[in-house]
Structure 1
Amino acid sequence: MTESESLHTTPLDALNRELGGRMVPFAGYSMPVQYTAGIMAEHLHCRAQAGLFDVSHMGQAELIGDGAAAALEQLTPADVQGLKPGRQRYGLLLNEAGGIMDDFMFANMGDRLFLVVNASRKHIDLPLIESVLPAGVKLRPLPDRALLALQGPAVATLIPTPMSFMGIMEMEIAGIPVIASRSGYTGEDGLEISVAAEQAEKLARALLAMPGVMPIGLGARDSLRLEAGLCLYGNDLDETTSPVEANLTWSMGKRRRMEWNFRGADVVRDHLDHGVKRLRVGIRPEGRQPARGHTEIRKDGAVIGEVTSGGFGPSVGAPVAMGYVARDAATDGTALDLIVRDKPLPARVAAMPFQPHRYAR
């Protein structure tokens, strides 16, 4: 069996190819890394107008039954029970050592919780969630649904909704029933749209027919999220990294930090109380040379960390990166050396996001 035969495809596979998508393997799926316009043009178009992303490889599921929110709180320090209907939140699934199993989105749909997990982790996340469910609470995976993201400043005009950032609702777009949340992975305003797989291509064509909407691939999705300072699981987060090290303590609910009744709580509490040896920071290399993931970071000749995500930021007009450095080197402005092709590249610790968020607050 060839690699291409063993890859999963999304419900938009034929359309992606028709649009000139350059297909690559990603998280077990055949996905478009770019279309005919190219990564730079797609990135800048999303910042200026609107871009359509096929993110159907992500895992979607529902949690149904009394006690669903309390059960999920066993695995995440996020406040699930306090989430109001019609709202969505970002959370982390943790292991016993306080390491991050995945980052995910959860939403209160009134009669159920709606979950979106990473493609590369859904085979781990869903059994993990199922393992903590009491009698009467059911996890229902939704493999028969596609996921589209429409991102950019034009989206609010193209599809007006009453939602603010992180709102979620069932609605119709182009006459097609969907679950839409006002969220995304670009730092821009926009919608993430869950739709029945058999309606996905019809919806995508309707969205692409709207003025100023361009198809956008994984390449620009990565540069957009990096400029926005957003983590990618497997690069910036993994099972050996705690929420404190990852600078994601904002995702932990206030009540949860008083109860400490989630998996890995002892480690996370210790990290909050006594500090950690390393922290995730933003990094601005000097000059035009980008530093990619796994680039060694030094300070005064000593190795103090590693770049986890890096590349050129088209909107910033310069290279940007994030990575983990020793805590005493994590202050904004700290001078670093990034070892690129065996040569030290001067850089500084910098505040994130590199490109201001434009969410609809």
Structure 2
Amino acid sequence: MSDTYEIHGCEEADEVAVGPLTLPLDQWHRARGGRMVDFAGYWMPVQFEGIIAEHLWTRESAGFFDVSHMGQLYVSGHDAEAALEAVLPIDLSTLPVGGVRYSLLLNEEGGILDDLMVTRWDSGFYLVVNGATKWDDIAYLRDHLPDAVTLNHLEDSALFALQGPKAFEALEPLVTGGNPLSTLSFMRGGQFKLGGIDAWISRSGYTGEDGFEIAVAAEKASELADLICGQPQVKPIGLGARDSLRLEAGLPLYGHDMTKLVDPVSADLLFGINKRRRNEGGFIGANKVLSLIADGGLRRRVGLAIEGRMAAREGATVLSGDTEVGIVTSGGFSPSLERPIAMAYVPVEFAAPGTSLSIDVRGRKLAASVVSMPFVPHRYHRKGAA
């Protein structure tokens, strides 16, 4: 996803209109001037007042994102923990109630089918998967989970993200019952009431900033959105800024930086495969992935700082001298750094920070160098931090 979008119109098929679906906040976004585009099969706002302005507001204050297109799933039943561990490379034995953990859905060849978040609830597991892949994910999980395990798609739940250094300041006064919001640290969640509305809140997100993801009944979505965006620190933010924020944070996007042809070692996502699982295996794709871990693999996802002002977009060729060595998977102009940045896959011998490369953009070579990610430091609120 880049900051350039194309709006797709509805098509006719057997005299039945087929087009993007609407989310609970569709009219809410339109009433606030959201420019709506077709993304992952839904009408979603790409921007409100402008991508750069929304990006910088989120870095300085708090941005409200509607991510209700994502798939919210609930896995429960007899031995649900063991059943999930047989599919995902995650160690659920060390995940406490309310704990949130990143994981990967892999195929037998070790290719990434999706990345996801897994949370332990009292009697099961709450999964959040990508919107563009959720139907395939649901089918895949149902094929690979035993009959004793139930998979529910929580279609009547909306999902929001409140991100930025003032996210806590904006959300904390709205908590009207239960534990105080300050009990949540990064990657922990719990049940709260916001203005009397029941919500599941986790301290997590996709921007590199402190912030929260908030699941709420779809029928309460507009009421809660009004409540949160009524705070002076908060503005609604569209897909464009969400993409530039996650790029600055060095976070990969499925379908671009990850596909079924990319493995977790190449993608630099081994933190999504817990230590016990690396030792024991026993998950789908384990043989291939553990072999890659042992030999190190052949390529890596790296960050690139680009000289000048021209951005390199997905698909641009990465060169060492005149030799093609890789391809850009995400790229754009960084509003925070005021320079173009990109992520790309290159052979491991070109992956060390400081390596000089170039990128071919429409016949023009842009000088670039490999840099450590994130491009902009993360500001997560970790347990025990000041």
Structure 1 and Structure 2 fold alike (TM over 0.5):
yes
Match of 1:136 in 2: 148
User: Is the counterpart of residue 75 in structure 1 residue 75 in structure 2?
Assistant: no
TM-score, normalised by the number of residues in structure 2: 0.91
Letter in 1 for 2:279: M
Task: Tell me the SS of whatever aligns to 2:242.
Answer: helix
CA distance in 1, matches of 2:124, 2:296: 37
Letter in 1 for 2:322: G
Match of 2:28 in 1: 15
Cα 1:135/1:5, change in 2 over 3 Å:
closer
User: Is the counterpart of residue 179 in structure 1 residue 187 in structure 2?
Assistant: no
The CA deviation string for residues 56-108 of structure 1, in whole angstroms up to 9 with x for no partner, is 00000101113112111122212123211111001000000000000000100
The CA deviation string for residues 184-223 of structure 1, in whole angstroms up to 9 with x for no partner, is 0000011100111110010001111011200000000000
CA distance in 2, matches of 1:266, 1:256: 11
Q: Percent of aligned positions with the same letter in both sequences?
A: 49
Unaligned runs of 5+ in 1: none
- Pairing partner for 1:2 from 10, 32, 36: 10
Match of 2:175 in 1: none
CA distance in 2, matches of 1:21, 1:308: 27
- Pairing partner for 1:31 from 41, 44, 52: 44
Letter in 2 for 1:14: Q
User: Is the counterpart of residue 245 in structure 1 residue 270 in structure 2?
Assistant: no
The answer to whether the Cα contact below 8 Å between 2:328 and 2:345 also exists between their aligned partners in 1 is yes
User: Segments of 4+ in structure 1 off by > 3 A?
Assistant: none
The CA deviation string for residues 279-336 of structure 1, in whole angstroms up to 9 with x for no partner, is 1000101111111111100102110000000001111111111010111100001011
Match of 1:152 in 2: 164
The answer to whether the Cα contact below 8 Å between 2:170 and 2:233 also exists between their aligned partners in 1 is no
Please list, as runs of the form range in 1=range in 2, the aligned pairs for 1:331-342 lying within 5 A after superposition.
331-342=352-363
The alpha carbon displacement at 1:255 in A equals: 0.8
CA distance in 1, matches of 2:161, 2:63: 8
Letter in 2 for 1:134: P
CA distance in 2, matches of 1:264, 1:300: 36
* Residue correspondences, number: 360
Please list, as runs of the form range in 1=range in 2, the aligned pairs for 1:270-309 lying within 5 A after superposition.
270-309=291-330
- Pairing partner for 1:115 from 127, 130, 140: 127
The answer to whether the Cα contact below 8 Å between 1:70 and 1:81 also exists between their aligned partners in 2 is no
The alpha carbon displacement at 1:158 in A equals: 2.0
The answer to whether the Cα contact below 8 Å between 1:96 and 1:263 also exists between their aligned partners in 2 is yes
Letter in 1 for 2:327: E
Letter in 2 for 1:6: G
CA distance in 1, matches of 2:133, 2:349: 32
Q: Which moved more, 1:145-154 or 1:75-84?
A: 75-84
The alpha carbon displacement at 1:5 in A equals: 5.3
Unaligned runs of 5+ in 2: 1-8, 12-16, 173-180
CA distance in 2, matches of 1:333, 1:122: 38
- Pairing partner for 2:217 from 185, 188, 196: 196
CA distance in 2, matches of 1:172, 1:112: 21
The answer to whether the Cα contact below 8 Å between 1:33 and 1:217 also exists between their aligned partners in 2 is yes
CA distance in 2, matches of 1:351, 1:2: 42
CA distance in 2, matches of 1:280, 1:6: 34
The alpha carbon displacement at 1:109 in A equals: 1.0
Match of 1:214 in 2: 235
User: Is the counterpart of residue 59 in structure 1 residue 71 in structure 2?
Assistant: yes
The CA deviation string for residues 151-172 of structure 1, in whole angstroms up to 9 with x for no partner, is 1111112223110000111111
CA distance in 1, matches of 2:357, 2:329: 15
Match of 2:244 in 1: 223
The CA deviation string for residues 220-240 of structure 1, in whole angstroms up to 9 with x for no partner, is 000000000001000000001
CA distance in 1, matches of 2:254, 2:143: 22
When the two chains are superposed, the root-mean-square deviation of aligned CA atoms in Å is 1.2
User: Is the counterpart of residue 170 in structure 1 residue 182 in structure 2?
Assistant: no
TM-score, normalised by the number of residues in structure 1: 0.98
User: Is the counterpart of residue 268 in structure 1 residue 276 in structure 2?
Assistant: no
